[in-house]
C-alpha cells in the first residue's frame, strides 16, 4: 500500500482540530443556555417555597398597622395564631391567666409606649393578638428557608468553645428553679456584620449542654439577619433539643401561645437608653404555673404575654436546673479579627450607671411560686478584654451587675 502523503495528513489534522473547536464551542454554548434555563427555574421554585412558607406563618389579619420603623403588625384572631398549628393544640383556645407569682409588685397600668408600633395610638381589636408580619426580604436573608427563625446549629453552647458565641453572664445552678425575674436596661448596640447579633436576656435552662438541652429565653436583641435592621427588639426563644430541630424565635413556629393584645413579639422597643442620659428598663418574669405546669411570660408588673405549653419540653416539664442573665454576641471574625459588634451599651461594666448596661433585682421562683433572692450567683465573661461583667448588691437594686463592652479594641484583637 502506498504511504499517505504529507498533504493529506496535514489536512486531516486541521479537520480534526477544527471539529474539536466547533464541538467545544457548541458544548459551551449549550451548557450556558441550559444554565440560563435552569437558573430562572430554580429561582422560581425558591420563590414558590418562600411564598408558601409566608402563607403558613402570616395568618389572615383582621387589621394591619404600619409601624414608624417600617414593620407591619398584623392583628390576628387569637385562636388562629401559629401555636394552634401544633397537633396538641389544634382546635383549642388559650388558657386563662394564672395566679401571678407570690410577693410580686402590685399590678401597674402601662402608662408609656413600650414598642414603636403603638406610638400612633392604634391597637389591635379585642380577641386578636399583634404579630409582626414576615416578608420575603426577611426570609431571603436566611441561609435556608427551613432554618428561618432559628438559631444556627453551630451557636448552641453557653460557654465559649470557638463556636462564635461570647457571653458576659451571671448564673445559678445545682438547684430546682421554677422561674426567674430581672430588669434590664435597653440599648441600641452596633452590630458590625449582618450575620452577627447582640442580645440581653434571661435563660431558663434544664438538661445538659448536649443534644437534650431545654431552654426558654426572653429579652431584647439587635439581629439584622432576622429583622433587617439594628433596632433592639423584644424577643423570645425556646428549644428542647439544643437548637437542632425544635423551637424558634417569637411566633415563627407553633409553640409559644400569646394571650396579650398589646405586645408584638419581635417588634422594636421604644424608648431606649442613652449614654449619660435617661435609662429605660425592660422587666421580665418567666415562671411555671403550679396548676397546669406551663411556663408563663410577664412584662413589667402584671402584663402577661403568654405561655410555653409544658408538653413542648422534656426536662423543663418539671423544673429548671439553671437560670442565667446577661449578654451574648456572635463573633464571626469575618474580617479576620475579633468583631466590633457591641454588647449592651458598647461600654465596659466598670463605667457604671448611665454608661454601662445592667441587670438588676435578680430573683428566682421557688416550688411554691414565691419570688426569692438569689444566692451563690456566679459570673462568667468568656473574653473579659472584649466584654466584661461586674457584680454588686444594694437595698434598691438587690442583686445586680453591669456588663458589656465594645468588642474589638487594643486589648481585644
Q: Radius of gyration (Cα) for the chain, nearest Å?
A: 27
How far apart are the C-alpha atoms of 360 and 394, rounded to whole Å? 10
Q: Find the helix or strand (DSSP H, E) in which 181 lies.
A: strand 179-185
Which residues are CB-neighbours of 216 under 8 A, at least 6 positions away?
203, 204, 236, 237, 238, 286, 295, 308, 316
Strands (E), 78-127: none
CA distance linking residue 80 with residue 214, whole number of Å = 26
Instruction: Name the residues annotated as catalytic.
Output: 217, 328
Q: What whole-number distance in Å separates Cα of residue 382 and Cα of residue 406? A: 14
Q: Could you give the maximum distance between any two Cα atoms of the chain, in Å? A: 114
Only one residue has cell 395564631, namely 81
- Rounded Cα distance between 303 and 301, Å, is 6
**CA 293 remoteness from chain centre:** 24
Given a contact cutoff of 8 angstroms between Cβ atoms, the answer to whether 305 and 265 are in contact is: yes
Grid coordinates of 315: 426536662
CA pair distance 313, 88, nearest whole angstrom? 13
Do residues 339 and 192 lie in contact, with contact meaning Cβ atoms separated by under 8 Å?
yes
* Residue 252 parent element (H or E): none
Amino acid at each position: 500500500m502506498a504511504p499517505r502523503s504529507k498533504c493529506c495528513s496535514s489536512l486531516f489534522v486541521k479537520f480534526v482540530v477544527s471539529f474539536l473547536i466547533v464541538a467545544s464551542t457548541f458544548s459551551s454554548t449549550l451548557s450556558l443556555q441550559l444554565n440560563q434555563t435552569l437558573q430562572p427555574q430554580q429561582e422560581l421554585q425558591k420563590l414558590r417555597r418562600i411564598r408558601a412558607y409566608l402563607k403558613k406563618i402570616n395568618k389572615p389579619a383582621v387589621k394591619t398597622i404600619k409601624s414608624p420603623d417600617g414593620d407591619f403588625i398584623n392583628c390576628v384572631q387569637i385562636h388562629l395564631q401559629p401555636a394552634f398549628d401544633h397537633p396538641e393544640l389544634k382546635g383549642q383556645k388559650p388558657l386563662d391567666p394564672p395566679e401571678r407569682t407570690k410577693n410580686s409588685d402590685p399590678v401597674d397600668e402601662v402608662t408609656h409606649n413600650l414598642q414603636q408600633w403603638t406610638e400612633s395610638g392604634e391597637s389591635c381589636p379585642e380577641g386578636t393578638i399583634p404579630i409582626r408580619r414576615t416578608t420575603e426580604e426577611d426570609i431571603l436573608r436566611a441561609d435556608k428557608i427551613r432554618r428561618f427563625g432559628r438559631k444556627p446549629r453551630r451557636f448552641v453552647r453557653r460557654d465559649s468553645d470557638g463556636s462564635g458565641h461570647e457571653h458576659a453572664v451571671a448564673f445559678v445552678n445545682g438547684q430546682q428553679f421554677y422561674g426567674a425575674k430581672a430588669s434590664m436596661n435597653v440599648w441600641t448596640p452596633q452590630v458590625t456584620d449582618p450575620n452577627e447579633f447582640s442580645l440581653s436576656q434571661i435563660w431558663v435552662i434544664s438538661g445538659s449542654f448536649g443534644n437534650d438541652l431545654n431552654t426558654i429565653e426572653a429579652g431584647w436583641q439587635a439581629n439584622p439577619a432576622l429583622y433587617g435592621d439594628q433596632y433592639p427588639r423584644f424577643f423570645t426563644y425556646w428549644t428542647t433539643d439544643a437548637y437542632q430541630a425544635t423551637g424558634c424565635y417569637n411566633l415563627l413556629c407553633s409553640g409559644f401561645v400569646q394571650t396579650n393584645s398589646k405586645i408584638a413579639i419581635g417588634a422594636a422597643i421604644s424608648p431606649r437608653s442613652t449614654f449619660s442620659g435617661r435609662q429605660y428598663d425592660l422587666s421580665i418574669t418567666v415562671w411555671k404555673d403550679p396548676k397546669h405546669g406551663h411556663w408563663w411570660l410577664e412584662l413589667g408588673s402584671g402584663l402577661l404575654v403568654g405561655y410555653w405549653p409544658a408538653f413542648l419540653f422534656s426536662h423543663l416539664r418539671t423544673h429548671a436546673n439553671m437560670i442565667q442573665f446577661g449578654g451574648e454576641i456572635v463573633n464571626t471574625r469575618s474580617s479576620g479579627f475579633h468583631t466590633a459588634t457591641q454588647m449592651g451599651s458598647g461600654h465596659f461594666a466598670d463605667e457604671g450607671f448611665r454608661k454601662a448596661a445592667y441587670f438588676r433585682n435578680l430573683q428566682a421562683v421557688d416550688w411554691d411560686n414565691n419570688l426569692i433572692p438569689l444566692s451563690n450567683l456566679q459570673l462568667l465573661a468568656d473574653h473579659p478584654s472584649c466584654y466584661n461583667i461586674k457584680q454588686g448588691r444594694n437595698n434598691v437594686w438587690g442583686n445586680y451587675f453591669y456588663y458589656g463592652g465594645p468588642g474589638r479594641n487594643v486589648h481585644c484583637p
